[in-house]
Amino acid sequence: MILHLPGHMPALPPAARSRAALGLTAAAALGRFQLQVCADCGAVQYPPRETCRHCLSDRLPWTDQTGSGELIAETTVHLSQDSYFRERAPWRIGMVRLDAGPTLITHLPAAGAAAPVRVRVTARLDKSGQGVLVAFPIDEVTTMVNDRQLREMICDPKGRKVLVTDGQTAVGQALARQMLAAGATQVWVGHGKSWKKYPGCAELAALPRVAMQPLDLTDSKSVKHVAGAIGDQVDILINNAELHPPLGIAAGKSATRGGIATGNGIDAAQAEMDIHYLGLLRLAHEMGPAMTSRGADGPPGPIAWVNLLSIYALSNFPPQGTFSASKAAALSLSQCLRAEMRPSGVRVINVFPGPIDDEWNQAMPSPKLTPHALAQAVIGALKDGVEDVYPGDVAADWLSRWRDNPKILERELSA
């Protein structure tokens, strides 16, 4: 999918992990700090193992931790055999004794308080996409974007250049405005039909640091033109282009969109796939090489690619069957994109909102996620280095039920 340019591959932190240790990465991808806790004896365990170090039980569910503890020792690495850390030395690390019991080796802010001091440990994704531990002094406010060691674990919009692929929707306009509020120096806003006047577009175009950019994800030439014009400048790409065909209401039946058994959903399904799946594929082909090259550049900061998906990508919502299927296809493609971009240090973030309070979902009952809240969730994910985001009450509930038993959720939705 993506052409990696020879000579432009960056140094990355060591990425090898055991299957047990990947549980830490899985939690960090959601912005959570979890450790193994034995279901039989209750021991909190680190480093991760296949069995409990106390009772040898293999029942070791990953459980959320507060992260509170004490920094008991620290050192600064000036020389390293690893190319990533050698290029970035000196690098500060420490030993933390958690209140929960285990003792951990963690990264430390370059200018944080010296040991001994109370700290809070969090899990982050490093530039290789693997979970690592970072300890912050409880009594100090540390901004990762200003920390030489830690800023590559996040992609704060401050000082960055952003492309929002569709500014003709309430969501796209909220994303552009929030990026500006977060300190982006330039925001390009895509618009597919320049002849059509969409509410809010004129006001958005008048804002400082905003440039309207003709972009139609269903047109390969349009995507190629944008990639040639600004692809080598984009630090953060937000692919928010969506299509929800109008609701069709059958007599005596609930509203459905793109039904697959009625014979009325073929055109809608093709249009949805053209935007959600093929549109993402066109972007990846044209923007991918430029962004992977920028990811290899290192400073001034990491590169991020954000995909607006849907909670319906996890389990099909029959009233919006073809829309759900197109988002599931986009999720699969986005996972491939993430795997291909990871060697260049590019962070791919997937956003899974529930129903959004916009023109497409007027017939959906509450609760619905406002465009502003969705944009805030995207900003938070970039600032925290989170990989998967589930904003809103509906998405959080859906995710919980899907994790508990996907088959039960499928039956509940079909009812």
pLDDT greater at residue 67 or residue 366: 67
- Asked which of 18-22, 138-142, 198-202 is least confident by mean pLDDT, the reply is 138-142
Tell whether domain 161-414 is in CATH 3.40.50.720: yes
pLDDT band at 115 (very low <50, low <70, confident <90, very high): confident
Count Cβ atoms within 10 A of the Cβ of residue 8 and give its class: 0-12 exposed, 13-18 middle, 19 or more buried: middle
Residue 375 Cα to chain centre, angstroms: 12
Task: State the angle between helix axes of 266-276 and 278-295 in degrees (0 to 180), rounded to the nearest 10.
Answer: 0
Mean pLDDT across the chain: 88
The yes-or-no verdict on residue 258 having pLDDT over 50 is no
Buried b (16+ CB within 10 A) or exposed e, 39-77: eeeebebbebeeebeeeeeeebebeebebebbbeebeee
Q: How far is CA 318 from the centre of its chain?
A: 26
Q: How confident is the model at residue 390 (pLDDT cuts 50, 70, 90)?
A: very high
Instruction: Specify the pTM.
Output: 0.89
Q: What is the mean pLDDT of residues 86-91?
A: 88
Confidence of residue 298 (pLDDT cuts 50, 70, 90): low
Both tokens assigned to 85 = 């850390």
Largest CA distance in the chain: 73
Q: Any idea where the domains of the chain sit in the sequence?
A: 22-153, 161-414
Whether the predicted pLDDT of 262 surpasses 80: no
In this prediction, residue 6 carries a pLDDT of 42
pLDDT of residue 152: 86
Q: Which two three-digit tokens encode residue 214?
A: 């003709």
pLDDT for residue 7 = 45
Residue 294 has pLDDT above 90, yes or no: no
d(CA 107, CA 122): 10
Question: 397, 392, 409, 406: which is closest to 351 by C-alpha?
Answer: 392
pLDDT average, residue stretch 186-194: 86
pLDDT tier, 194 (very low <50, low <70, confident <90, very high otherwise): low
Mean pLDDT of 34-43: 96
Cis peptide leading into 245, omega within 30 of 0?
no
Residue 140 pLDDT greater than 90, yes or no:
no
Q: In what order do the strands lie in the sheet with 34-37?
A: 44-45, 34-37, 62-64
Q: Give per-residue pLDDT as tens, 317-365.
A: 998 889 999 999 999 999 999 999 998 889 999 999 999 988 777 777 7
Residue 3 pLDDT > 50? no
Alpha carbons 318 and 257: distance in angstroms, whole number:
9
Q: Out of 10-14, 78-82, 257-261, give the one with best mean pLDDT.
A: 78-82
The pLDDT of residue 256 is above 50:
no
Higher pLDDT, 128 or 306: 306
What kind of architecture, by CATH, is found in domain 22-153? Beta Barrel (2.40)
Nearest to 74 by CA among 98, 52, 36, 106: 106
DSSP state of 159: T
**pLDDT, average across residues 44-66:** 95
pLDDT at residue 253, rounded to an integer:
40
- pLDDT higher at 35 or 297: 35
C-alpha–C-alpha distance, residues 161 and 49, integer Å: 42
Look at 43-52, 149-158, 165-174 and tell me which has the smallest mean pLDDT.
149-158
The pLDDT score that the predictor gives to residue 148 is 80
pLDDT at res. 297? 54
Q: Please give the pLDDT value at position 249.
A: 35
271-285 pLDDT, tens digit per residue, is 999 999 999 999 999
